[in-house]
Amino acid sequence: MTAGAAPDPGREGASPAAHPDWCAPMLATLTDDRFSDSGWIYERKLDGERILAFREGDRIRLMTRNRKDATDTYPELVAALACQPERDFVADGEVVAFDGRVTSFARLKKRLQIRDPDRARASGIRVFFYLFDLIHVAGRNIEGLALRKRKSLLKRTMQFDGALRFTPHRNETGEAFFETACEKGWEGVIAKRATSPYRHGRSRDWLKFKCAKGQELVIGGFTPPQGSRTGFGALLLGYYENGALRYAGKVGTGFDDAFLTQFRARLEKRRRDTSPFDPAPQEPEAIWVRPDLVAEIGFTEWTGQGKLRHPRFLGLRRDKAARDVVREDPQ
C-alpha cells in the first residue's frame, strides 16, 4: 500500500508542537464484557512487543512502553521507517513474529535479548511492525484528535509494505470478531472508542477481550532443580498491590534446557537473603531474588486463594517495569 499526498493535520485541528522526546503509551483495560457498538472499532490483539516509533529527520528510535531503547533489536524496522517520506512522526504499534498464521511471543522472545543489529538480522526470526496509531506528525501534536482521524492520518502518512503493516479494524461487530479471533487461535481483540483521544496511561476507552487468560508477573524467587533437571525447578511469581509484592504461585513449565541453564545465571546475580513477597510464601526451598524481572505467564484462572491455576511460562518481558505489574481483573 502506498501513502497518498502528505496529510495536513492542522486542517483537523491539531496544534503545532516540537518533536517529543517521549510519549507514554495508551493502555487497554481488561474486561469480560464483550459487546458490539457502532461507536467503537475492533482490532486484532497481537502477541508481541509494544513499540513506539520516533522519527525526527534522520534520527529514528524504537522505544518499549517502559522507555527502553529497542532500536538495535529491530534494524529492519528502522530501515523501513527511514524510507518513509514523512520525516517527523511518532507512531504506536506492536512488533510481532509469526508461527504459521498466529503471532507468537515465544518465537519473538528469541529476538528480545539481541542488542547487535547484525546479529538481529542473522537471527532468522522475521519480524513485522503493525502500526495502529499516530500521536505526532509533521510538526503537530494530534493526540487530541479522534481515533478514527488519527488512524486515517496514519494510513495516509505511511507507506505500508514489507515489514511495516497497517493494523486493520472492524466496525460495530465486536462480538462476532471476538468469536472469529478465538476460533483462529488469536490472543483476542482490542475494542477502541472511535472518538477517543490518545490518553497516556490505562483507559477504559481501550478494552481487551482476551481469548485465554494471561498476564505479566514479577519474578521474586525460584526453587532448586530436582532429578535430572538443570538450572532451576520453578519461578516464584507475584504482582504489586498497594505497594506490596503479593505471591501468586509458581511456574515450572514452558522452559527449554538452554533457558534453564542461562536464566539460572541471571537469577544468581539477583540473589537476596529475604523474601520480597509480603507476606512471605511457605516455600521452604525457595531462593529469593531481587524482584526486577517480569515474565509473561499463561494460566487457566485465578484460584479463590489468589493463586495461578495451571500456569505456563511464555517468556520474559522487557517492555514493562516490575513496579507496574498488578493483578489484571476484568472491569
List residues with catalytic annotation. Answer: 45
| Cis preceding linkage at 197, omega within 30 | no
Identify the residue whose cell numbers are 521507517: 81
Rounded to an integer, what distance in angstroms lies between the CA atom of residue 121 and that of residue 7? 33
Q: Which of 93, 63, 86, 100 is nearest to 168 (CA)?
A: 93
CB atoms within 10 A of CB 133: 23
The grid cell for 209 is: 477481550
Nine-digit cell string for 53: 516509533
Whole-angstrom distance, CA of residue 291 vs CA of residue 237: 9
Contacts 24+ apart (CB under 8 A), 160-164: 160/1, 160/131, 161/1, 162/80, 163/76, 163/77, 163/80, 163/126, 163/127, 163/128, 163/129, 164/77, 164/80, 164/81, 164/128, 164/129, 164/131
Rounded-to-integer distance, Cα 59 and Cα 125, Å: 25
Under 8 Å between Cβ of 293 and 268: no
Q: State the greatest distance between any 2 C-alpha atoms of the chain, in Å, as a whole number.
A: 68
Residue of 142, 165, 139, 168 whose CA lies nearest to 153: 142
At residue 29, what are phi and psi to the nearest 5 degrees? -105, 135
